[in-house]
Structure 1
Amino acid sequence: MFVFLSQLIQLLFYPLGLSIFLTLIGLLLLKRRGLYKFGITLLVFALSLLWISSTSLVARSMAQSLEFQNLPKEVAAADAIVVLGGATKSHQAPRTMPEVNDAGDRIIYATRLYKDGKAPKIIVSGGRIPWHGDVGTEADHMASLMELFGVPRSALLEESDSMNTRKNAENIKQMLEKEQLNKLILVTSAIHMPRALAIFRRLEIDVVPAPTDFYSVFPYKGKKASFQLSSLLPQVGNLDLTTRAMKEYIGLWVYRLRGWA
């Protein structure tokens, strides 16, 4: 129930959902005597919010504020690599197998770390959200894809009962005690790493960040970052990135409020 409510309530805080909500209220107020100007104000605010959230200036800045908190560095050897879910699409028809989404770098990077000898085990973590209509679990999807990349099934451990990052960490902690594992390498998208890292460390799990799937990049060598007018043009991809960043900030705030991070 918490997962469902958190998904539903957050829609009102995201730019698109909030803009639609304010637009509907604004249109209703236009027909009310004495509230016409307030209705216009809401419409202008909704349009401005949607435009600003769709610019690369805002989207990249918000993403960078999260991603650059844990920049890549040499990863030390550990007992296991943990890969968090959110990187796959289930094998519903007409798909013939599980497929990766734009966070699929998590699977590729974890496989690379395994083949580089950074850990002898990979824990794939992620359940199935019932109302998404998915077939199978995220853990099973990731394990299947990693096998295609040459990771033996004997090296894969599945945690398939969690539906959010907090539950990922709780279930993995139980697995660590059972499997007698200690130090972990945590693989997830760079934009999600600050929240995931805070949750794992709150549970006193010895974890080293290994971020991937970066949206933000450094300027080309020898070229200074400069303001461009095109960064103020709205694009749907920027709106999606702003929403992802807001989801992380809201999630981190809620988790801290509940004592989870």
Structure 2
Amino acid sequence: MFLFFSKLLPLFVYPLGLACILLVVALFTVWKRPRFTAVCVGLALVLLLLGGNGWIATGVVRSLENQYVPEGDLPKAEAIVVLGGGIRPQLPPRPWVEVTEAGDRPIYAARLYRQGKAPLVILSGGRIEWQGSGPPESADMAQLVEAMGVPVSAILQDPISLNTYENAVNVKKILTERGIKQVLLVTSATHMPRAMQIFSKQGINAIAAPTDFLTSQAEQQAAQATTQWRILSIIPEAENLAQLTRALKEYIGIFIYRLRGWL
């Protein structure tokens, strides 16, 4: 039940969800309280304008992504831990497992393995029931990394974790059983701050190996140097709104996890 409400309630705090609530309230008050209605509509418009603004979205995203940018080459470790969240199962009409934006995670982990950074790849992620049937996400990721050259003998799975806290708890059990002391932690750059805090709380010595960066300093500097980008960034876009929502999800997650004592 906690998992369901942890996914549901933040939807009403994100810019789009909160704007929709304000518009629904405005719909029911338009005849009796027109001034209040105007305020609700105005606030909804401000939320969408600010939420879709390129400057704001990029700034909030970078506040997360810049926290664990590796300095130089990553060191070697005893295992590579990959957190799920970017794989769609092989269900018709999909010919094979498919990756989403966060699908860079297993791809990057396979690259690190082929570079000799660690002899094991631990894939952590189950499958939430209401998100469809199919095998656990760890099994789908295993197919992907195996196709990229990681042998089956080097792959371990945690197929039951449904959130980042469970990722850390279940991975800790695997590490303890194997006597593994240090790992490279692979997840999306926006998700890395929360993941690192949770893994640290579990006593896991993890080195951040972020991927799936939504922004880059070079691209941002080049864009900001052009007048066209400055003008276009003011106009709200759905992509900016999605990126801001993704960043806000992490800040809300950090807040909730801290309340539960998981951080």
For 1:220 and 1:150, locate their aligned partners in 2 and report how far apart those are by CA, in whole Å.
Answer: 31
CA–CA separation in structure 2 for the residues paired with 1:206 and 1:102? 27
SS of residue matched to 2:68: coil
Change (3 A) 1:222 1:254: closer
The one-letter code matched in structure 2 to 1:257 is: L
- Cα distance in 2, alignment partners of residues 102 and 212 from structure 1: 10
Alpha-carbon contact 2:123-2:142 (below 8 Å) kept: yes
Report the 3-state secondary structure (helix = DSSP H, G, I; strand = E; otherwise coil) of the residue aligned with 2:157: strand
Quote the residue 1:48 is aligned against.
46
Structure 1 residues 198-257: Cα deviation after superposition (integer angstroms, max 9, x where no partner): 100011110000001111111369969447121111111111101000000000011111
TM-score (normalizing by structure 1): 0.96
Report runs of 4+ in structure 1 exceeding 6 Å deviation: none
Post-superposition offset of 1:50 = 1.1
Q: Which residue of 2 aligns with 1:9?
A: 9
What 5-or-longer segments of structure 2 have no aligned partner? none
Structure 2 counterparts to residues 32-71 of structure 1, below 5 A: 32=32, 35-71=33-69
Q: Is the 8 A contact 1:88 1:99 kept in 2?
A: yes
Structure 1: distance between partners of 2:28 and 2:262: 40
Letter in 1 for 2:257: Y
**For residue 230 of structure 1, what is the aligned residue in structure 2?**
232
| Partner Cα distance (2:18, 2:58) in 1 | 20
Is the contact made by 1:219 and 1:225 (CA closer than 8 Å) also made in structure 2?
no
Q: TM-score normalised to the size of structure 2?
A: 0.95
State the distance in 2 between where 1:201 and 1:225 align: 37
Provide closer, same or farther for how the CA distance between residues 238 and 222 of structure 1 changes in structure 2, counting only shifts above 3 A: closer
Distance 1:209 1:176 in 2: 17
Please give the root-mean-square deviation of Cα atoms over the aligned residues, in Å.
1.5
Structure 1 distance, partners of 2:235, 2:220, is 26
Q: Which runs of 5+ in 1 are unaligned?
A: none
Q: What is the SS of the residue equivalent to 1:212?
A: coil
Structural mapping, 1:193-208, within 5 Å: 193-208=192-207
